[in-house]
Structure 1
Amino acid sequence: MESSPLPLVNSLDEIYTPAALVHEGERWNKVFEKFQREYGTPVQKVSRAPGRVNIIGEHIDYCGFSVLPAAIERDVLIAFSTDPVSEDGKDESIPKPSKPGKTVVVLRNTEEKYSPTAFEVDLTGNGDDLALPERHHWSSYFIAGTKGILAHLVKTRSRNISTPKPGPALVRILVDGTVPEGSGLSSSSAMTTASAIAILEISGRREGEFQVGRSDVTNVAIESERLVGVNSGGMDQSASVFSRPMHLLHIEFIPQLKARALPLPQTDPPFSFVIANTLVTSNKKLTAKYHYNLRVVECRLGALLLAKFLDLHVDYQTRPFPSYKTLVDTYFGRKAPTHGPIRSNSQRPEKLVPEGATHPALPSSRLPPRNAGGAHELRTMMGLVGQALGGPGMEDGMTWEQVAEKLEVDAKELEKAVADREVEPKDGKFKIWTRARHVFSEAIRVYEFKELLCNTAATSQRATPDAIPDSENAGPILETSARESLPDLPSAPLDPYSTSSLAVPNDADPSKELLEKMGRLMNESMESCQRDYECSCPELDELASIARKNGAIGSRVTGAGWGGATVSLVREPDVPAFLKAVRTEYYNKRYPDLTEKELDDACFATKPENGAILYENDDASPDHAT
């Protein structure tokens, strides 16, 4: 549950799935050995935070819609030990605290390309005495996580601990990471999250009466990453903290950030997700005005136009901007947070009134459930979006002046209010309709994927996709039974209203049907990213094509796009041949000089793994106990 502390374990089999244990054990041993060589003392604890892969739901989190990511095996490890007193000259490379109450934090990395550093901080303060490096350094993420968690600790400190115990004089840290940089797998979020957890543990607030739970750690990591200039909607950090083995997380952002763990189905044969990095990195500072920032503005303009069409009164100069999800909730009468003063009139737009006579539904008609929400509302809204934003010529886009005319506002004032960062649309036109078409169709695909998982979920009671029961005191994480208790696929409960029903002919293979439906949704997502959102690139297109040609049931971009990686759904028996084909047809042609390790980092199979965890080394000397 969200208020529970981050787990503390002392065995790797409590962190990784059996398939990952073989090589992870060897890796951890190397980290522990290097720590001993570097510092002459054993590792006491390790803060571990994984990267994530977004299985489906691209570029819709900042529009307020839900996503389905999972943690991966690749992660960031922060091994650390503390000393109540300084080194006293044992190691001249380690500085002493400048005065009592200060803590010296020494940061080193297993990779030589990351230069070592050290900083001083008061661990009982709010982090104001700690500054980020003037020039970006890999330590910036650790320092940001430290500042974020210290500020939170002071903010939530009880009067009973108004004079907290001083921190240790020395903290020794060794960082090891396997999340490839620039791959769209959130290496920065993993680093920031692991850093916050390490400082939280050293400060003594991970558990106990005044513990800081997982939900707070997630929010701290989100805010911390913004300190280094990364605006995050919360998906990456939530996946890193809350993920479970063999589960996807259904993460919602409105009215508040929450997540439910949904078990992946058992199939025969089993399946894996294969990640392939294009090794193309989009320079966000140079391309944001054409890519990411431009898409945000196009979605903002679309939300304003849709609000006007639906007769929902929105002040475009008020912050934060209305999101598509907020408009959906307001239109369908659910309570949503205020994104500007939205007021809903009692009447629907006149365009919705049918021109001809209506006919009563036949008794055999398949009607939506009484409490229909989620996907049903999105499908209804998709038609309204087409009326509001679509039509002849709308795929070519609209200028500032054309949008302002429809909104009946001044074009210059609109641009000033909406484009808070530089944007440069091609030919001066914003492709509002095609971007909206992607956002709403992708949001529907997320719900359909969720329906597939819910229909095969091993729960003690029936769980309908759009209304998973929550008790009044239940947290946002859906408790599911252990993987060993999952039912056989053919007998999984079905939702009669599901558009992705698993009902198949008696002679059909239900595993094959299920995987094909999952793959179809992934392929449709990729097509939408290519055609409507235009966030792909030739290398991503090529990798997805190679993947499908060589056995992938589905393949799509994961992450923001314009570079980064693809994720493919592959049956496990096909994985070795699949990896070989991708190496031959993509990497050997485009990057023939890659080493074996670089190839392994670029393309690998993975399954959903555990979220963030703190590991305690039982073999550490008690003289060095935290």
Structure 2
Amino acid sequence: MADGDALPQHPLQVSESERFMKLKDAFISKYSMPPAFYVRAPGRVNLIDFFPADLCVVSDEHGERFHQDTATMEKQYQDNWPTILFFKIYLSNGLYFCRDYNVPINEIQIDTTKPLWQYYFLCGFKGIQEHFNLPTSCGINCMIDGTIPASSGLSSSSALVCCAGLITMRANGKVLSKMELAEICARCERYIGTEGGGMDQSISFLAEKGMAKLIEFNPLRATNVKVPSGAVFVIANSCKEMNKAATTHFNIRVMECRIAAKVLAKTKGLEWQKVLKLGDLQQELGVDLETMLSTVEQVLHPEPYSREEVCQCLAISQKELSNILSQNTQDVTSFKLYQRAQHVYSEAGRVLEFKRICDETPANALQLLGDLMNQSYTSCRDMYECSCPELDQLVDICMQSGAVGSRLTGAGWGGCTVSMVPTNKLESFLATVQDVYYEANADRAAKQTQSLFATHPGGGAAVYHEV
């Protein structure tokens, strides 16, 4: 295990934390015994696509936000039980006021057509179970709570998967590094049908207080990036919910990028069948982003590709195309390959430029970073087409209220914006956005205190032991 890569484990004085005390009391009320340990995993906010920062509130009357908090204990080791097949996972969720859930460990099934909250927990459990090839596992009791708004684009689902992975590892006496946990949780969330890339889980484990992170893959690595002083990031929830596992929007974009990568790879004489991502294609070709953007212009056309044209480009049958597509994108009839590839490669360039500006900190660094965030939003809206009217309105309001840059964050089609706001304009910014976006709508006004606040980067997932 590399230096600094060990999972943090902290002593916890529960009586000093109102939230942990409530969680402990609820656990004892439900299971008639105290929890053995606690686990926390944060959500995340993207400052720019593929450039995420794990953010938590620094000055807020409700305390720290954007964590899933889970209390658990290893209850079900009993020598007089004839078989471990009776061991169960018991889940109680105080966050969404849901019914309790339990399932025998040997009967776990994850229904990809119904992305219920408990399935995200089961993803994390199953990922650890399969990684260690555990034919059996101890039963566990869990009480789940959290402060990440659901379906807000802040990765509440991935945080729950990460919590479940941590719990399962700890309850079974196993040890993994943060890197290993991030990779396992990224893979296992796909059990629920989301074709994610692993960024959410990576930042949830690898985040460090005060630092943004440049997350890169193959192999997974995270580089600290210090954002220049003089501005804060403000999260504003559009209050338009979008569950990426319950819709096809997210997976369609992933499939369009996959097909674009394969078509481009075929024109370059590569083994296109093995190419899954546009980033992998660039790495295989060994060229820079400008060359990739030029290649997209030369090879792909802006008009949507039909299924028949995709098959013709790749010289495959409709059945073979179905094997490339994910389960919930089988009925898609057209694909915007040019637009998706243009977005991905141009956004990758903005990511590198963002890091360069942060490293060099020129006098106008904040304005330059804000410009990149604005360009990112425009590309998300026009080329990747993952915005929505509520997000468009909110970004416009944020820019008119004093932000130097603003963009959607998360999967899109709803959820939150993140804005870079000069510190000396923060109070007026918050007041204006509150009045114009939230107070003008009764439903939004009721959620305003949980929807609009300033943040700074916080730390990653950890295990807590009561002292």
- TM-score bracket, normalised by the shorter chain, equals 0.7 to 0.9
Label 1:592 to 1:194 Cα distance change in 2 as closer, same or farther (>3 A).
closer
Residues in 2 aligned to 1:296 and 1:111: alpha-carbon distance in whole angstroms: 30
The residue matched to 1:145 in structure 2 has which SS? Answer: helix
Counterpart residue number, 2:60: none
1:547 is aligned to 398
In the TM superposition, what is the alpha-carbon distance from 1:413 to its structure 2 partner? 6.6
RMSD: 3.2
Contact 2:233–2:420 at 8 Å: present in 1 too?
Answer: yes
What is the aligned counterpart of 2:52 among 62, 69, 72? 69
Match of 1:149 in 2: 128
CA displacement 1:41-98 (0-9 Å, x = unmatched): 43431111111111112xxxxxxxxx21122331111112344777xxxxxxxxx967
1:113-149 superposed Cα distances (whole Å, 9 cap, x missing partner): 211233444xxxxxx4544479654322223322221
Q: Residue 330 of structure 2: which of 422, 429, 452 is its match?
A: 422
Rounded to whole Å, the distance in 2 between the matches of 1:238 and 1:201 is 19
1:568-600 Cα offsets, whole Å, 9 max, x none, are 1123343333223222212222344743xx322
Note if contact 2:193-2:245 (Cα within 8 Å) is conserved in structure 1. Answer: no
Q: Which residue of 1 aligns with 2:293?
A: 382
2:232, 2:422 within 8 Å by CA — same for their partners in 1? yes
Matched, 1:611 2:430: no
Secondary structure of the corresponding residue to residue 313 of structure 1: coil
Note if 1:525 corresponds to 2:433.
Answer: no
Structure 2 equivalent of residue 189 of structure 1: 158
- Match of 1:612, as an amino acid? A
Indicate the SS of the match to 2:411. Answer: coil
Aligned to 1:42: 34
- Kept in 2, the 8 Å contact 1:555–1:567? The answer is yes
Structure 2 residue corresponding to 1:450, chosen from 355, 364, 370? 355
Amino acid in the other structure paired with 1:50: P
Matches within 5 A, 1:101-250: 103-111=87-95, 113-121=97-105, 128-132=106-110, 137-154=116-133, 167=138, 171-205=140-174, 211-250=175-214
Aligned length: 452
How do residues 219-368 of structure 1 correspond to structure 2 at under 5 angstroms?
219-254=183-218, 256-265=219-228, 267=229, 269=230, 271-282=231-242, 284=244, 288=248, 291-309=249-267, 311-315=268-272, 318=273, 320-332=274-286
Q: Report what 2:6 is aligned to.
A: 5
Q: Distance in 2 between matches of 1:35 and 1:538?
A: 41
Contact 1:141/1:228 (CA < 8 Å) preserved in 2? yes
The 10-residue stretch of structure 1 (584-593 or 237-246) with the greater mean CA deviation from structure 2: 584-593
Q: Which amino acid aligns with 2:215?
A: I
- Residues 400 and 411 in structure 1, CA contact (< 8 A), matched pair in contact too: no
| Structure 2 match to 1:55 | 47
User: Do 2:374 and 2:406's aligned partners in 1 also have CA atoms closer than 8 Å?
Assistant: yes
The 1:527–1:308 alpha-carbon spacing in structure 2 relative to 1, beyond 3 Å, is same
- Selected match of 2:343 from 432, 438, 443: 438
Whichever of the two has the greater Rg, that structure is 1
> Using a 3 Å threshold, how does the CA distance of structure 1 residues 397 and 133 change in structure 2: closer, same or farther?
closer
The CA deviation string for residues 503-533 of structure 1, in whole angstroms up to 9 with x for no partner, is xxxxxxx3xx111111110000001112222
Shift of 1:541: 0.5
Distance 2:86 2:324 in 1: 45
Query: Structure 1 residues 417 and 109, CA, compared in 2 at 3 Å: closer, same or farther?
Result: closer
* Per-residue Cα deviation, 1:529-571 (whole angstroms, up to 9, x for no partner): 1222221111111010000111111100111211222111123
1:293 Cα deviation from its structure 2 partner: 3.7
2:266, 2:314 within 8 Å by CA — same for their partners in 1? no
| CA shift in 2, pair 1:284/1:609, >3 Å | closer
CA drift at 1:616? 0.8
Secondary structure at 1:280's aligned position in 2?
coil
| Residues 593, 560 of structure 1: alpha-carbon distance in 2 compared, 3 angstrom cutoff | closer
Displacement after TM superposition at 1:40 (Å)? 4.5
1:396 paired with 2:276, answer no
User: In structure 2, how many angstroms separate the alpha carbons of the residues matched to 1:177 and 1:105?
Assistant: 19
**1:151 and 1:526, CA in 2 relative to 1: closer, same or farther beyond 3 A?**
same
- Find the counterpart in structure 1 of residue 434 from structure 2: 583
Offset of residue 216 of structure 1: 2.1
Structure 1 position 109, deviation (Å): 2.5
Q: 1:422 to 1:30 in 2, by over 3 A?
A: same
Alpha carbons of 1:566 and 1:231: their partners in 2 closer, same or farther (altered >3 Å)?
Answer: same
SS at structure 1 position matched to 2:212:
strand
Matches within 5 A, 1:457-472: none
Kept after mapping to 1: 8 A contact 2:192/2:245? no
Q: Find the aligned partners of 1:446 and 1:176 in 2 and give their Cα distance.
A: 33
* Post-superposition CA distance 1:12-34 (Å, at most 9, x none): 89xxxxxxxxxx94323332343
| C-alpha distance in structure 1 between counterparts of 2:84 and 2:338, whole Å | 61
**Counterpart AA for 1:432:** L
Contact 1:2–1:214 (Cα < 8 Å) also in 2: no
* Identity across matched positions, percent: 33
Q: Which residue of structure 2 aligns with residue 409 of structure 1?
A: 315
Match for residue 365 of structure 1?
A: none
Q: Which amino acid aligns with 1:383?
A: S
**Residues 137 and 538 (structure 1 numbering): CA distance in 2 closer, same or farther, change over 3 Å?**
closer
Distance, in Å, in 2 between the alignment partners of 1:45 and 1:25 is 15
Instruction: Write the distance in 2 (CA, Å) between the matches of 1:297 and 1:231.
Output: 9
Amino acid at match of 1:578: F
Q: Distance in 1 between matches of 2:245 and 2:111?
A: 19
Equivalent residues of 1:97, 1:120 under 8 A apart: no
8 Å Cα contact 1:273/1:568 also seen in 2: yes
Contact 1:274/1:569, CA 8 A, preserved across alignment: yes
Using the alignment, how far apart are the partners of 2:2 and 2:406 within structure 1? 32
Partner of 1:505: none
The aligned runs of 1:13-24 (5 Å cut-off) are none
Instruction: State the SS of the aligned residue for 2:457.
Output: coil
Amino acid at match of 2:126: K
- Cα pair distance change 1:583/1:12, threshold 3 Å: farther
Q: Where does structure 1 lack aligned partners over 5 or more consecutive residues?
A: 14-23, 58-66, 87-95, 122-127, 158-163, 206-210, 334-376, 457-501, 503-509, 619-626
- How far did 1:297 drift? 3.7
Instruction: Give unmatched runs, 5+ long, in structure 2.
Output: 57-65
Deviation string 1:225-250 (CA, Å, 9 cap, x unpaired) is 22222222111110111111111221
Shift of 1:251: 1.4
Question: Residues 560, 112 of structure 1: CA spacing in aligned structure 2 closer, same or farther, 3 A cutoff?
Answer: closer
**Retained in 2: the 8 A contact 1:53–1:558?**
yes
Kept in 1, the 8 Å contact 2:115–2:246? The answer is no
In 2: Cα distance, 1:100 partner to 1:528 partner: 53
- Given candidates 8, 23, 39, the residue that maps to 1:31 is 23
- 1:408–1:225: structure 2 CA closer, same or farther, 3 Å change rule? closer
